[in-house]
Structure 1
Amino acid sequence: MIVAGLSGLVDSFARFALQGLGTPAPVAPTQNLVVTGLYRYVRNPIYVALVAVILGQAVLFGDQRLLGYGVLVWLAFHAFVVGYEEPALVRMFGTEYEDFRANVPRWIPRLTAWRAARRRNHS
C-alpha cells in the first residue's frame, strides 16, 4: 500500500503541474481540469494515495493509532472535498467538471478507465 500510494502521489502531482498547469494547493490551482492517469479511475487520487500510505504504515507497524489517524485524515479530506473543493471546481470548470464528477467516483476507484468526451471546436 505504501509503494502504490507513493507512486500514485508522484504521478498525480506531476499531472497537476504538467497538464493542469498548477498545483493541488488552493492558492495556486490548476488552469486545466486534469482527467488523465489515475484521475480516470478516481476523482481524488492524491488524497486516496496519502491515506493508502498511512494505512500501509499502520499495517506494516501493526499500529492501531496509525489506523485511527488514517481514518481521521480521510474524514478531514472528505470534509474539505465536499465543503470547498467540489464547489470551487464546479465554479472553475462548469460542465466539464460536472461530467467528470458524474462518471468518476470520489473515493472508491472505478474498475475501468473513464475517458472524457472530446470537445469539438465549433469555430
Structure 2
Amino acid sequence: MRRFSAIAGSALFLVVAPGVVAGLAPFLLTDRYRLPLSTLPGFAPVGWVLVVGAAAMLLHAFARFALEGLGTPAPVAPTERLVVGGIYRHVRNPMYVAVLSIILGQALLFSSRALVVYGAIVGAAMASFVRLYEEPTLARRYGAEYDAYRRAVPGWLPRLTPWRG
C-alpha cells in the first residue's frame, strides 16, 4: 500500500509542480505555443533534444522517489529513505535541472526571450528553495548519510561518473 501511495502522490505532484512550471507557464508565455518555431539554424533540434531528454530525466527522478524512497518530492509527503540511485548518482537536483532544461529547450524551440527570462526567475527561485529549505531539511532528516552524499554529488552540474557511495 505504501508503494501505491508513493506512486500516486508522485504522479499527482508531477502534474501539479513541473506540469505547471515547465508546461502550463511556457504554454501561456508563448501564446499557447503559437510562436513560430526557431528560425535560427540548429536551435530547434537542440530545443527538442533538451525537452525530450529532460522529460525522460524528470520521469526517472520521480519514479526513483516513489520506488526507491517510498515517498514523493512534495514536502508534505517526503521519502522514507534518502534517494541516491539512478540519476541521483550524478546530480543531487535532477528534477530542478530537468525542469530548467525543459524551459530552456522551449525557449530555443520558439526563440522566446520571455521563456529565457522566466527560466532565469524559476532557476533563482529553485536555487533559493534548495539552499534555504531542502538542504537543511535533508541534513536534519538523514544526517551523516546526506552529508556524505552532498559532499560527493554536485547539486546542479552532473558528474560524469556515477557516485558509488
Q: 1:56-111: per-residue Cα shift (whole Å, max 9, x none)?
A: 00000000110111111111000000000000000000000000000000101101
Name the counterpart of 2:148: 99
In structure 2, how many angstroms separate the alpha carbons of the residues matched to 1:25 and 1:87?
16
Which segments of structure 1 move beyond 4 Å, counting only runs of 4 or more?
none
In structure 1, how many angstroms separate the alpha carbons of the residues matched to 2:67 and 2:162?
20
Name the counterpart of 1:66: 115
Provide the aligned C-alpha RMSD in A.
Answer: 0.5
Q: After the TM superposition, which residues 44-63 of structure 1 pair with which residues of structure 2 at under 5 Å, given as runs?
A: 44-63=93-112
In structure 2, how many angstroms separate the alpha carbons of the residues matched to 1:37 and 1:59?
28
In structure 1, how many angstroms separate the alpha carbons of the residues matched to 2:116 and 2:54?
15
Gaps of 5+ in 1: 117-123
What secondary structure is seen at the aligned counterpart in 1 of 2:117? Answer: helix
In structure 1, how many angstroms separate the alpha carbons of the residues matched to 2:100 and 2:138?
22
In structure 2, how many angstroms separate the alpha carbons of the residues matched to 1:11 and 1:41?
13
In structure 2, how many angstroms separate the alpha carbons of the residues matched to 1:81 and 1:55?
20
Does 2:135 match 1:86?
A: yes
Name the counterpart of 1:14: 63
Considering only CA atoms, is the larger Rg found in Structure 1 or Structure 2? 2
Gaps of 5+ in 2: 1-49
% of aligned pairs identical? 56
In structure 2, how many angstroms separate the alpha carbons of the residues matched to 1:112 and 1:26?
29
Name the counterpart of 2:88: 39
